[in-house]
Structure 1
Amino acid sequence: MTSTVPPGQTPDAVLGRLATTLTQDFPFADLVRDPLPTGAGLQAHDAADLLLLDTVATWAQARHPLDPVVVLDDRHGALTLPLLAAGVSVRLGQDSLSHERSVALNAQRFAAHLAASGQLTRGEIGPELLAGARTVLLPLPRSLDALDQTAHLVAEHAHEDVVLLAGGRDKHMSPRMNEVLTRSFTSVVAGRGRSKSRVITARGPRRGRPAPFPRTRAQELPDVGSVTLAAYGATFGGARLDPGTRLLLEAMAAAVHSGTLTTERAIDLGCGNGTIALWLALQWAGLSVLATDQSADACRSAELTARENGVLDRVEIRRDDALSSVDEASEPLVVLNPPFHDGNAVDPGVAQRLIAEAARVLEDGGQLWCVWNSHLRYRPLLERLVGQTRQVARDRQFTVTVSSRRR
């Protein structure tokens, strides 16, 4: 079967003109965000998800093969579950462990809808998952590096007539996304907008382009000197030392030299590229460090950072949803530079959840060292969830605090 859509064009997903729809009968409002926080203005699907599904239907109507569809980084199942319910088989790959668990929970809730569904295959985002794929769905990531890495993987490993459909909300999209996609595809076309959302269609893979990630960069860390940081595409901040982490490490170094900070174990919670875990391992020669992150790319980055600097024997990298695998009241020190986004959405509940998890695993008298954007005013939250909190450093943008756990 060959698509009837000429190169450089994409069919418009106009409601009322679709022979079949993937969105009309599915109860999207019943999807939940668990295990991620819920709250006012937060829901488990958006208009971009619906437009992506309707765009898939237009490509099916234009005789483009769908089965199986590869879905990447579905947040809560709003893409995967309607496809399965319509009898379409799906290969699903997700960077986020929290999102993996959310899709699994919603699949259980929707078991009756999926009784005679297509087949779901889960896997890592990589060559095996994408091999021979004809249709790939992707919610546009916030990071251009993440988009570049994904586009390269699709172009290299999917079928030569693959259609990559990347959807997002207009307020989160930019022309630079088209430019990034053009590095890996000969045809990049934005579809008609609907409900303040849009789908970019990429076709014609450019094969043979060198892999853009991982990347490494030499950086100077406070008190330990020159190191090599590494990052894959979806890792927050890339292979750089971000200014908040720099302020945090400067404050911790001062505490080490004054004798007020000592430990035999430490956790780098939300480790990203592994900067904090690396600094801890270099600061204390005998220290055992656990670096956790819910992002597969972050864990790969932290592992490469530790290996590049010769401390992998003392740094354990663990992909975890917050600290779900760590026992209560078991740890003396947790270090945290919390995110305040879930994907493109600003979500203070993400940081609150991580702070609560740090409080759960800290032993009596254990410390949480935390850096945060000063305008977020986390100190009352830290006092309530962890314990007595004092400010140890502050600049024009960031605040560093240390909270002592009392049980």
Structure 2
Amino acid sequence: MTETELQTPLGLLTLKRFPVRAADRLRAWDAADELLIKHLHEQQAELKDKKRVLVFDDQFGAITSFMCQMLAASGHPVSIDVITDSLVSQHAISQNVKGNGYGERDVSFIDNTAIPVKPYDLIIYKLPRNHGYFADVMQRLRSNMSDDTHIVGGVMVKYLPMTVLTTLGQIVGETTTSLATKKARLIFSHFDSSLTPTNPYPTTYTIEEIDVDLLNHSNVFSRDSLDIGTRLLLAVMPESDDLLTIVDLACGNGVVGISAAQLNPNADLIFCDESNMAVASAKANVARYFPERNAEFYQTDCLEGIAKNSVDLVLCNPPFHQQNAISEHVGWQMFKESLQCLKSGGEFWVVGNRHLDYHIKLKKLFGNATLVDSSNKFVVIKSVKR
């Protein structure tokens, strides 16, 4: 078998990581996926009548594809609801499900800022790295659970602190784990209808530098306080009275774009992020402070969908990881697509850790890179499209 072939008890699944990159040796599943698949197959007789299925935070579609396999093998109609915050994960799940012979109607994606409207017999999840996000979603899913709901999660042991089990016990019900297998564990919870937990999300905090209170859904980057890289960028934000189109790329809660809106009163604004919760947060914050402003919001992969040669300024605090894997490819993709979308003479401003050497990459791509400001850990760099 190759790196894209997963042998399950019900047959072979072909699974790719997305975005697909040449010579990518990482698999689209891990030992926690394999352990979940083994458990679900072993419990197939017990789960045979559990037709209303929800899968939460499946990164690339291994669990969703196997559930399609299992439902089809049992003769049930294949109908699975999926919650994910990531558009890249959504694309991966869709393409891998389709690649294994199942249709678009077999899987439905649920808005992770809302509460699904129907009960579930089976809830399966991969534990997200953001445990606040996990607690938020699981708490909202209480209204979809009953005493008969089978609730099971999978996680690599290194990503499982005891606090998660305590939290699950407080918001869902009694929680236990399996023994470790290949450094992975299963997590089992039993719904307790007597619990009455409260959900703190979405939260708000004040940014004194620009005098705003910003709302944050639970999976937004720097959801509890302003990160120091963005603080450095805010201090040197470009300003103009010209008619501009400004993009806040990887917008998070929209703080960079909101600061740009304050300093560029005639600018149109575009907010882009691949996180659904980030876009929802930015939209709420812009609606509060600039209700009449011309602003567009895109849940998109980098700048996909933004016209080439159409914008004057791109502001960016890029991520340096995808899911659990540290990677430079997301930032590099943002740099290249920013160059394409900028008009001639347009500017790309980026903040990043010193050690990432963004100036080298930007000089290679744009032909220029100017240091705007720096601190002990971060730099702000400007490149101009010639």
TM-score by length of 2: 0.88
Change (3 A) 1:232 1:37: farther
Post-superposition shift, 1:62? 4.4
- Does 2:306 match 1:316? no
Change (3 A) 1:160 1:273: farther
Post-superposition shift, 1:41? 4.5
CA contact 1:229–1:240 (8 Å) conserved in 2: no
1:398 pairs, out of 368, 378, 384, with 378
Q: Distance in 2 between matches of 1:246 and 1:39?
A: 37
Map of 1:101 onto structure 2: 91
CA-atom RMSD in angstroms: 2.6
Structure 2 portions without partners, runs of 5+: 1-5, 73-77
Counterpart amino acid of 1:373?
Answer: N
- Does 2:333 match 1:349? no
What secondary structure sits across from 2:234 in the alignment? helix
Q: Distance in 1 between matches of 2:131 and 2:96?
A: 29
Residues 161-200 of structure 1: matches in 2 within 5 Å? 161-200=148-187
Residues 127-206 of structure 1: matches in 2 within 5 Å? 129=116, 131-206=118-193
CA contact 1:94–1:125 (8 Å) conserved in 2: yes
Q: Distance in 1 between matches of 2:277 and 2:336?
A: 24
CA contact 2:373–2:379 (8 Å) conserved in 1: yes
Q: Distance in 2 between matches of 1:239 and 1:308?
A: 19
- Does 2:202 match 1:218? no
Q: Distance in 2 between matches of 1:165 and 1:39?
A: 34
Counterpart amino acid of 2:264?
Answer: W
Map of 1:31 onto structure 2: 15
Post-superposition shift, 1:232? 0.7
Counterpart amino acid of 1:71?
Answer: V
Map of 2:51 onto structure 1: 67
Post-superposition shift, 1:355? 1.7
- Does 2:22 match 1:42? no
Post-superposition shift, 1:127? 5.8
- What do the CA deviations read for 1:328-385 (whole angstroms, capped 9, x no partner)? 1211110110111212221221222222221221122211100111222222222223
CA contact 1:277–1:315 (8 Å) conserved in 2: no
2:306 pairs, out of 315, 320, 326, with 326
CA contact 1:22–1:57 (8 Å) conserved in 2: no
- What do the CA deviations read for 1:38-82 (whole angstroms, capped 9, x no partner)? 654422111111112222234444458532221122222111112
Change (3 A) 1:355 1:405: same
Q: Distance in 2 between matches of 1:100 and 1:139?
A: 14
- What do the CA deviations read for 1:237-263 (whole angstroms, capped 9, x no partner)? 1142111100011122xx54xx7x966
CA contact 2:272–2:300 (8 Å) conserved in 1: yes
CA contact 1:72–1:92 (8 Å) conserved in 2: yes
Map of 2:214 onto structure 1: 229
Post-superposition shift, 1:401? 0.6
- What do the CA deviations read for 1:257-310 (whole angstroms, capped 9, x no partner)? xx7x96612000111111111111111222211111111111111112222324
CA contact 2:351–2:380 (8 Å) conserved in 1: yes
Post-superposition shift, 1:218? 1.6
- When structure 1 is superposed on structure 2, of 321-330 and 79-88 the one drifting more is 79-88
Change (3 A) 1:160 1:316: farther
Map of 2:227 onto structure 1: 242
Map of 1:300 onto structure 2: 280
What is the percent sequence identity of the aligned residues? 25
Map of 1:5 onto structure 2: none
Change (3 A) 1:262 1:231: same
Counterpart amino acid of 1:134?
Answer: D
Q: Distance in 1 between matches of 2:258 and 2:192?
A: 38
- When structure 1 is superposed on structure 2, of 65-74 and 282-291 the one drifting more is 65-74
TM-score by length of 1: 0.84
Structure 1 portions without partners, runs of 5+: 1-20
Post-superposition shift, 1:229? 0.9
What secondary structure sits across from 1:353 in the alignment? helix
- When structure 1 is superposed on structure 2, of 279-288 and 293-302 the one drifting more is 279-288
Map of 1:10 onto structure 2: none
Counterpart amino acid of 1:56?
Answer: L
Q: Distance in 2 between matches of 1:358 and 1:57?
A: 46
Counterpart amino acid of 1:102?
Answer: A
What secondary structure sits across from 2:236 in the alignment? helix
What secondary structure sits across from 1:98 in the alignment? helix
Change (3 A) 1:42 1:22: closer
Change (3 A) 1:281 1:170: same
Q: Distance in 1 between matches of 2:131 and 2:243?
A: 38
